[in-house]
Amino acid sequence: MAKALISIDYTEDFVADHGKLTAGAPAQAISKAIDQVTRLAFERGDYIFFTIDAHEEKDTFHPESKLFPPHNIIGTSGRNLYGPLADFYAEHEADNRVFWMDKRHYSAFSGTDLDIRLRERRVDTCLLYIS
């Protein structure tokens, strides 16, 4: 069986000081640890899934538009991975064990094929982190 690391929304808009819906200093403080965990998972052969919020600028029908300010808008830098994690992705995005998955909801599973991809790869253990 296989292992997967699932990175959920560790992006500029959720982590950086200038982010539209930032968790700020607490999320920034774990940046180095998140990079280390991600690199370790990759080195041991795990699958890496980046599941990233993807919102449309004027989507007034999405329930989050009533709860939060606009964030992770498609085509903006707010969707970029934060800190050294961006470097990791740039180095490994072409690898067949690294995936970028857009999502419209809180859950990495809602409206995505993440569960199918995990089952196809016979993943039985997941480690995840979220901003």
pTM: 0.91
Q: Domain count of the chain?
A: 1
Nearest-5° angle of CA 85, CA 48, CA 62?
A: 80
Say what percent of the chain tops pLDDT 70. 96
Average pLDDT of the segment spanning 59-77: 77
For residue 77, give its domain range: 2-130
> pLDDT category, 108, cuts 50, 70, 90?
confident
CATH number reported for the structural domain that contains residue 78 in this entry: 3.40.50.850
- Inter-axis angle of helices 31-43 and 84-92, nearest 10: 20
